[in-house]
């Protein structure tokens, strides 16, 4: 996707698709052009929050996908032609809340918006949207009341803190309740920005040090999401997986299989133990599922609350596979999220 700004509003269960590598691939169903000015894209649809393939890692150790929360992922990528680097800001708003994100970046790294560069892509859903200069909106009929959610992008070039300010307004309690009832989740807003004359490393370092998120209403929890990247992705270029069920000694198990043929090497996955008994009378045996070895996405960035005082506790997920997972029952998360709770 070769553009300056990509903004998507999605209704549905939300699964982050963070930049998983330094190169961002071009989308096949959206026509983009390389420009230095801002473009907007509005779309709607649903995705499913599921574990990857045969991985049965527990994603609910903490109330991540719950009402009263806001979740965000900030990641950076390198564009195919390497003329730009990019950032993607994903916001999952699951409560009535206006959300503001600030991305610190030198004014020389971005350009002012040109309204003539605006492009729109819409799926065929019974929802409507539109755009204006440096803004886009999305309308949803919630219980007979039309709700208008608006996302605005402001380029700050003056003062001591230049950067990009992203503001999302219009998600109220009624809309949040409607989305939760229909999708068990909230509204997703994605903003893509492209930069020039700045390296990927410098952009990430600046975000880690100074990117912030602020809320009009204190959320019960805020999740700064960090994706888990399977190790095989780094070593096996363009490899894709599927799961295959096999029966061994009259028991069935899932195995990771390359779509090009052959099994995924055991260096890249393990089979954990599961308890098939009870807590007081455990029966530990190899799990039907497998766990993919992986690591935190090195291109995901910190997006800290602007006001840390509203949260009393911070917990960090560790999705790394323990050394003894094959012989000892373990429950691990499927990501490296940082969770702030009140």
Instruction: Please indicate whether residue 1 or residue 62 has the higher confidence score (pLDDT).
Output: 62
Residues 6+ apart with CB under 8 A from 282: 275, 329
Which of the given ranges, 24-28, 36-40, 100-104, 252-256, has the highest pLDDT on average?
Answer: 100-104
Q: Which of 37-41, 298-302, 329-333 has the lowest mean pLDDT?
A: 37-41
pLDDT band at 130, cuts 50/70/90? Answer: low
Global model pTM greater than 0.85: no
Q: Collapsing DSSP states into helix, strand and coil, what is residue 210?
A: helix
Question: Domain of 215?
Answer: 5-227
- Which pLDDT score, from 0 to 100, does residue 128 have? 52
DSSP state of 12: S
Measured CA to CA in angstroms, residue 299 lies from 88, 101, 258, 332 at distances of 10, 18, 25, 22
Q: Is 333 within the bounds of a domain? A: no
Q: Is 30 within the bounds of a domain? A: yes
Q: What is the pLDDT of residues 134-155, one digit of tens each?
A: 677 778 888 999 988 888 888 8
- The CB density around residue 263, as the number of other CB atoms within 10 Å, is 12
Q: Is 25 within the bounds of a domain? A: yes
Q: Is 336 within the bounds of a domain? A: no
Q: What is the pLDDT of residues 280-327, one digit of tens each?
A: 998 888 888 888 888 999 999 999 999 999 999 898 888 888 888 877
- Which pLDDT score, from 0 to 100, does residue 113 have? 40
- Which pLDDT score, from 0 to 100, does residue 126 have? 38
Q: Is 127 within the bounds of a domain? A: yes
Cβ-contact 40, 191 below 8 angstroms? no
Q: Is 309 within the bounds of a domain? A: no
Q: Which of 65-79, 119-133, 191-205 has the lowest mean pLDDT?
A: 119-133
Instruction: Please indicate whether residue 215 or residue 316 has the higher confidence score (pLDDT).
Output: 215
Distance of CA 242 to the CA centre of its chain: 22
Q: Is 24 within the bounds of a domain? A: yes
pLDDT band at 83, cuts 50/70/90? Answer: low
Instruction: Please indicate whether residue 111 or residue 214 has the higher confidence score (pLDDT).
Output: 214
Q: Collapsing DSSP states into helix, strand and coil, what is residue 341?
A: strand
Instruction: Please indicate whether residue 296 or residue 44 has the higher confidence score (pLDDT).
Output: 296
Please spell the DSSP secondary structure of 119-165, one letter per residue.
Answer: -----SSS-EEEEETTEEEEEEEETTEEEEEEEEEEEE-SSS--EEE
Please calculate the CA angle 206-303-216 and round it to the nearest 5 degrees: 125
Measured CA to CA in angstroms, residue 326 lies from 212, 264, 272 at distances of 40, 17, 5
Which of the given ranges, 10-14, 45-49, 133-137, 241-245, has the highest pLDDT on average?
Answer: 241-245
Element (H, E) at 178: helix 173-183
Q: Is 72 within the bounds of a domain? A: yes
pLDDT band at 108, cuts 50/70/90? Answer: confident
pLDDT of 173 higher than 90: yes
Average pLDDT of the chain is 74
Q: How many CA atoms lie within 13 A of 262 on its CB side?
A: 6
Residues 6+ apart with CB under 8 A from 47: 10, 12, 13, 14, 15
Q: Shortest CA distance to 3 belongs to which of 39, 28, 53, 31?
A: 39
Give me the number of domains the chain comprises.
1
Element (H, E) at 115: none
């Amino acid at each position: 996707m070769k553009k300056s700004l990509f903004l998507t509003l999605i209704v549905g269960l939300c699964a982050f698709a963070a930049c998983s590598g330094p190169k961002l691939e071009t989308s096949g169903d959206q026509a983009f052009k390389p420009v230095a000015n801002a473009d907007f894209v509005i779309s709607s649809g649903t995705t499913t929050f599921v574990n990857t393939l045969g991985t049965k890692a527990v994603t609910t150790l903490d109330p991540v996908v719950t009402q009263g929360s806001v979740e965000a992922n900030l990641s950076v990528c390198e564009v195919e032609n390497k003329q730009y680097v990019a950032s993607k800001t994903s916001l999952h708003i699951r409560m009535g809340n206006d959300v503001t994100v600030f991305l610190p970046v030198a004014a020389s790294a971005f350009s002012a918006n040109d309204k003539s560069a605006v492009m729109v892509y819409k799926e065929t859903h019974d929802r409507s949207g539109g755009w204006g200069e440096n803004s886009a909106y999305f309308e949803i009929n919630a219980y007979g009341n039309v709700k208008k959610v608006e996302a605005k992008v402001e380029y700050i070039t003056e003062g001591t803190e230049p950067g990009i300010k992203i503001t999302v307004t219009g998600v109220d309690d009624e809309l949040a309740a409607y989305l939760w009832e229909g999708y068990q989740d909230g509204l997703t807003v994605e903003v893509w920005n492209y930069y020039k004359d700045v390296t990927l490393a410098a952009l990430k370092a600046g975000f880690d040090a100074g990117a912030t998120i602020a809320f009009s209403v204190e959320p019960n929890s805020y999740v700064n999401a960090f994706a888990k990247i399977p190790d095989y992705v780094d070593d096996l270029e363009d490899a894709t997986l599927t799961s295959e069920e096999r029966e061994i000694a009259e028991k069935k198990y899932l195995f990771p299989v390359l779509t090009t043929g052959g099994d995924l090497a055991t260096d890249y996955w393990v089979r954990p133990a599961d308890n098939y008994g009870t807590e007081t009378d455990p029966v530990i045996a190899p799990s039907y599922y497998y766990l993919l070895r992986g690591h935190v996405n090195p291109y995901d960035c910190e997006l800290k609350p602007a006001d840390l005082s509203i949260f009393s506790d911070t917990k960090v997920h560790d999705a790394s596979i323990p050394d003894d997972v094959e012989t000892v029952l373990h429950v691990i998360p499927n990501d490296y999220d940082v969770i702030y709770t009140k």
